Amino acid sequence: MIVAKIKELLEVPRKVVITTHYKPDGDAIGSSLGLYNYLLKKGHAVTFIAPSDYPDFLQWMAGNEHVIEIQKDPVGSATAIEAAEIIFCLDFNRISRCESVAPHIAAAKGFKVNIDHHLEPESFCDLELTDPTASSTAELIYRFIVAMGDRALLDQDIAECIYTGIMTDTASFRFVSATAETYEVAADLIRAGARNYIAHEAIYDVWSEDRIRLVGYCTQEKMMVLNEFNTAIIGLSNAELNRFHHKTGDTEGIVNIPLSIKNIRLSVLFVERKGEVKISFRSKDDFSVRDFSDKYFEGGGHKNASGGRSSLSLEDTIKRFISLLPEYKAELTR
């Protein structure tokens, strides 16, 4: 990773802003707070602006109490971005992915750095440290810190944030993206003080009763298995979410469950959200849900994990999705 330019900029204390994508996930928060704690330790004035709320299970990492959600402090957020000398955009490849933060970033004068691992990054920064083969943006933050010559600065706080980002984006080191190098990074993070067992418990063992019942309801009542296409789908309406007192993050992971069924290679979750349907795609092997969501559902992401949206009703979105499957039958049943 070539960091000469940014290293030079960071030689004196700077005003820095970090931001990430809308509805941040574990990698978005883990990588951002890892970088936040590191830059703070180096003496910079750092502000982390989140474009939206995020789940409770991501709120235990060091520095979380200083995160600014733009909706809660629009003026403070705008002022910080405008004043920033350096802006880090983490874990997203299109400026629109940071939603209401995007116009401020676009107008900002600071030096912009994109650190990300999504495919086909759009060029919206001055420096791009992107690698679509990386397991996670958090792994890239580790590599960034090492490339800066600062391995020795890693401490428990920084290491635990980064570890959490890698762990969540690789589904606990089980995806193909978790390479030998990823495991080496994880080992070094544990050496630096990351408590892997704490990260695991704090993320995965903090479910509400409602959340676990919602998952049961999804698999028992809502999952449609289309064996003909090796595909499973789950659709959730707003009313159903309300019935289970839905909170941000409660539907996370549900889309992965059907992939545990033998032969299922494509799993899709449709969730009704204010005025649109948010769609999550997961696949196995070669079927690219990134291409599929990009082509039909204004989305993108990774080959085996992507997202998109639809402005049709939930029912019509699902109908439309099913109508697209015959074209992919050969690919899905190969």
Q: Enumerate binding residues for ligand 5GP (CB under 6 A).
A: 21, 25, 94, 280, 299-302, 305-309
State in angstroms the smallest separation of the CB of 282 from Mn ion.
Answer: 14
- CB under 5 to 8 A by kind: which of Mn ion, ligand 5GP, none does 309 bind? ligand 5GP
CB of 114 vs ligand 5GP, minimal distance in Å: 14
Residue type, 75: V
Q: Are 89 and 115 in contact (CB under 8 A)?
A: yes
Name the closest residue to ligand 5GP (Cβ): 307
**CB distance 244 to 207 below 8 Å:** no
Pick one of 22, 27, 87, 161: the residue that binds Mn ion (CB under 5 A): 27
139 is a site residue for Mn ion (CB under 5 A): no
Among 169, 240, 250, 252, binds Mn ion (CB under 5 A): 169
Binding partner selected for residue 116 from ligand 5GP, Mn ion, none, CB under the kind-specific 5 to 8 Å limit: none
Please state the closest distance from residue 136 (CB atom) to ligand 5GP, in A.
10
Neighbouring CB atoms inside 10 A of 269's CB total 26
Beta strands 305-310 and 127-130, pairing class: unpaired
Is the CB of 27 or the CB of 85 nearer to ligand 5GP? 27
User: Would you list the DSSP string of 146-179?
Assistant: HHTT-GGG--HHHHHHHHHHHHHHTTTTTSTT--
Q: Which is nearer to ligand 5GP, 26 or 63 (CB)?
A: 26
Nearest CB to ligand 5GP, comparing residues 25 and 240: 25
CB 321 within 8 Å of CB 234 = no
Which residues have CB under 8 Å from 6's CB, separation 6+? 86, 111, 113, 127, 148
How far apart are CB 119 and Mn ion at their closest, in Å? 12
Identify the CA nearest to 67 among candidates 95, 110, 28: 28
Please answer whether residues 19 and 52 qualify as being in contact, where contact means their C-beta atoms are separated by less than 8 angstroms.
no
Give 32 or 310: the residue with its C-beta nearer to Mn ion.
Answer: 32
Within a 10 A sphere around the Cβ of 163, how many other Cβ atoms?
30
Select the binding partner of residue 199 from ligand 5GP, Mn ion, none (C-beta < 5 to 8 A, by kind): none
**240 touches Mn ion by CB under 5 A:** no
Q: Taking CB within 5 to 8 Å according to partner kind, which of Mn ion, ligand 5GP, none is near residue 305?
A: ligand 5GP
Is 160 one of the binding residues for Mn ion (CB under 5 A)?
A: no
CB of 172 to ligand 5GP, least distance (A): 15
Determine the interface stretch with Mn ion among 55-63, 119-127, 139-147, 164-172 (rule: CB under 5 A): 164-172
Instruction: Output the smallest distance, CB 312 to ligand 5GP, in A.
Output: 15
Which amino acid belongs to residue 187?
A
Q: Give the Cα separation of 184 and 309 in Å (integer).
A: 36
Torsion, Cα 150 191 168 122, to 10 degrees, reads 20
**Where on the chain is the footprint of Mn ion (CB under 5 A)?**
27, 91, 137, 169
